Amino acid sequence: MSILLDKANQTIQQTVSVVNKQYYPYFHLAPPVGWMNDPNGLIYFNGQYHAFYQYHPYDANWGPMHWGHAVSDDLVYWRHLPVALAPDQDFDSGGCFSGSAVIDNGELCLIYTGHVYVDQQHHPELIRETQCLATSKDGIHFEKHGTILSPEEGIMHFRDPKVWKLNGQWWMVVGRRNLQDVGQIVIYRSSDLRSWHFEQVLIEHIDENVYMLECPDFFPLGDKWILMCSPQGFKPQQYQYRNLFQSGYIVGTWQPGQPFKVEKGFTELDYGHDFYAPQTFISADGRRLMFGWMDMWQSKMPSQKDHWSGCFTLPRELVLDNHNQLLNRPVKELTVLRQTATKLQDLQIVDEGKHSDLDCTRCEIDITFDMTVSNAERFGLQLAATKEGKQATLLYVDMQSERIVLDRSLSGQQVTGYRSVPLPKTNLLHMRIYVDASSIEVFVEQGLYSLSSRIYPLLPAERQLNFFAENGAMKISQFTHWQLNSIYKG
């Protein structure tokens, strides 16, 4: 074990006890202590799911990136393992940036970006990024093999490799900022994971303002190929692109040696305040699954004073519908977390609020609104709310704008603003909602839309569920509430 890797793991052991758990998630994967961002190296290996992540173990702010590591037998219950990678070599001295994992000849192989500051003291903007390889026989201890792919001369931003195997060859997509400050995704091919050959620019110029395409992922669903990425540079447009950076997908067709033929242009994948750098992987039974980072650059993170920050979204299954819409919804395995159910039917509220006395600290809610009866100007739920609703996260239907709104104006510490999605035209509007100690995830119409946002209620206070309807009626045809167990073991 390297000195820096040993130091990182010792630091975690010595400092994990100082973490204040007031906002720590019950059923989302978060770091034991310190800072977490992008999901990395998601893979099923030797009967377990491995989740790596961008990690700074020394404090709750971004710093020299390590790779944190957790494993699960079932996608539900997780335990933390020792740090997998530390920035301890010349080729990754500025950080072990994002990447992916594959299995080759029985070994777990991590392909990641080695980040180097060329002259940090005088010119911190000058960087060099290359793709690097580390391998492991046991999935825990990794041997680094150095740089396997370097960019063209003059290219500084060149990162986040995603690797897969097709037709006996390895393929890699990488995000690149070219010399004209245009964001591109480029694709390479290899027969051995070590010697790589440029194939093509997969896509570029998705918007005149986009200068970098981070965290690419390229995979087939049915007879189509999905290109996921996180563009930097989009300008806000009405309801769209309201976060600092976005994450989304492009649908098309592709085969080796041919151009990527786009059928559906860039579309946001999640419409909440906090979603970035999603990465997909294949489940043991062949489903295409995904984690995202449930935070956003330059956002307020009150948990930092509690010695930790950052978490993943719930694991989600991806399905492409007949309209090239990429649906994302919670994996079926999560139902094992459910405790006793509370059910309601045919609840009608007119011009008022209603207290439920249901705890909304760590819960799942399944709800269907009868839109043939509901005619209030706006109606929905107060989540993680005090009884009188002075503190709450609002999730409601706005019948005048015809949108579903997630509003954090009353959500607590340092978070503001709202996000929204179009109201589907349906008689029965279905949502699944997950509320954790500092987050909410909403899934509309079986994953047609999702909204993921962090919330930080001022504590101590009740965190319960209230119903409300303003200037009219709301009818709920069915409602189920479950308290959820913790995902952490060991």
Active site residues: 38
Q: Which of 485, 472, 33, 110 lies closest to 279 in space, CA to CA? A: 110
43: tokens are 């893979």
Residue 167 region, left (φ>0) first, then alpha (ψ -120 to 50), else beta? left
Q: Which of 77, 18, 30 lies closest to 454 in space, CA to CA? A: 30
Q: Which residues pair with 147 in a beta bridge?
A: 132
**What separation in angstroms does the CA of 265 have from each of 229, 319, 323, 399?**
12, 17, 13, 29
Element (H, E) at 193: none
Element (H, E) at 152: none
Sheet-wide strand order for 123-136:
95-104, 107-119, 123-136, 143-149
- 460 preceded by cis ω (within 30°)? yes
Give me the phi and psi of 222, to 5 degrees please.
65, -130
Q: Map tokens 């579903």 to a residue.
A: 404
From CA 456, how far away is CA 23, in angstroms rounded? 7
From CA 463, how far away is CA 31, in angstroms rounded? 24
44: tokens are 């099923």
- How many of the other CB atoms lie within 10 Å of CB of 323? 7
Helix, strand or coil for residue 11? Answer: helix
325: tokens are 């819409």
